[in-house]
Amino acid sequence: MRTLTYWQAISEATVQCMEADEGIFIAGEGVDDVKGTFGTTKEAFARFGASRVIDVPNSENATAGFAVGAAAGGLRPLLVHTRADFMFLALDPLVNLAAKWRYMYGGDKGGVPVVTRGVVGRGWGQGATHSQSPHATFAHYAGLYVAAPASPADAKGLLVQALTGDTPVVLVENRNLYPLTGEVPAEATGIPFGVGRIARRGDDVTVVATSLMVHEAERAADQLAERGISTEVVDVRSLRPLDERIICESVARTGRLVVADTSWARYGFTAEVAAVVAEHIPHVLTAPIRRLALPDCPAPVSWPLEEAFHPGAGGIVEACLRLCGQTQGDLPALADVAAGFQGPY
């Protein structure tokens, strides 16, 4: 199988789906510009042009409502937010209409399969309002599917599934994953929502992670192996639906759980995973659940503050060591994932 970067996988999925279904169109601010949303919409614009890759005015609310109406009229919108933080402006159409359309009109009048991609811009001082990942916000609401692909293959597979399914979807993409390479199937095959994967098998501790934290957990697992700790990394892939079974099966075997997220702990992904384990298999835990998430403040800008703010492989290592009764000792600190990022944004 050939290797693609995460962003190439998104572009390929987009183009293949648009080729197969004339009803798919892309709408977003600047999706047709020379950068092409970090390369992800460039090829689509080159192939399909302005009639299907549409630069919209700076109107996130109306654009999402427009997408709902277009979907009701039989088309398949793919909304793209170059900055996921702007998705808060689209909350009403996505949460109050797209998520609820099928149900509130009786369940038998069809739904509105609006797909939204939100790019999370962590790194290089993006700051309080330009580095958020709203996955937990959207995952709260019944009627949506929400996913955060962590590998190039999943970036393609989940987007294909979204563009060929019947449910409105929010896909959250962390920019730090964009240069990652991985094997990606050539065909446009969907990966079902609600099914996680074991990114790495292990026996001593489970790290349940989402998005960038999957990558960070794998880096942490490499270092933990030097200490004889075998780490199982569970990539949930979807936040809604959540694959409770894969989480519980892993924790039932290891008895130790670290949950790692790129967003805040309170009312977030880590809270949900901890609740699932506490509800179903509390008796298997040999130590309290550890949650690795953002500290309780908005994102700072200054580099040392930012490094302290964002959780990463180092924090996962420390949490796993503690659960296994060990300390950091002379283990070298792992470099930040955004180290080496070439600015400007």
Query: Does residue 103 interact with another protein by CB under 8 A?
Result: yes
Number of C-alpha atoms within 13 angstroms, CB side, residue 26? 35
């159409």: which residue's tokens? 93
Q: Which of 81, 130, 135, 140 is catalytic?
A: 130
Q: Which of 36, 93, 196, 300 binds another protein (CB under 8 A)?
A: 93
Q: Which of 109, 201, 245, 266 binds another protein (CB under 8 A)?
A: 109
325 burial level (CB within 10 Å; 0-12, 13-18, 19+): exposed
Q: CA distances (Å), 59 to each of 26, 75, 81, 131, in order?
A: 15, 20, 11, 20
Size of site (CB under 8 A) for another protein: 38
Query: Does residue 56 interact with another protein by CB under 8 A?
Result: yes
Torsion of CA 47, 50, 53, 55, to 10 degrees: 150
Which 3 state secondary structure label does DSSP give 263? strand
Q: Supply the minimum distance, in Å, between the C-beta of residue 190 and another protein.
A: 16
b vs e for 187-199, b when ≥16 Cβ sit within 10 Å of the residue's Cβ? ebebbebbebbeb
The question of whether 81 is a catalytic residue gets the answer: no
Bond preceding residue 241 cis, omega within 30 of 0: yes
Q: Which of 19, 21, 33, 92 binds another protein (CB under 8 A)?
A: 92
From residue 67 to residue 86, the character string flagging contacts with another protein as x (rule: CB under 8 A) and all else as - is xxxxxxxxx-x---------
Q: Supply the minimum distance, in Å, between the C-beta of residue 132 and another protein.
A: 21
Q: Which of 96, 164, 189, 326 binds another protein (CB under 8 A)?
A: 96
Question: Alpha helices of the chain — where are they, by DSSP H?
Answer: 6-20, 42-48, 60-72, 91, 101-104, 135-139, 152-164, 212-225, 244-254, 269-280, 303-309, 313-323
Report the residue number, 83 or 227, with the smaller CB distance to another protein. Answer: 83
Q: Which of 7, 14, 31, 65 binds another protein (CB under 8 A)?
A: 65
Q: Which of 105, 267, 303, 345 binds another protein (CB under 8 A)?
A: 105
Binders of another protein among residues 270 to 329 (CB under 8 A) are none
Residues with catalytic roles: 130
**Residues in the site for another protein, rule: CB under 8 A?**
56-57, 59, 61-75, 77, 92-93, 96-97, 101-111, 142-143, 166-167
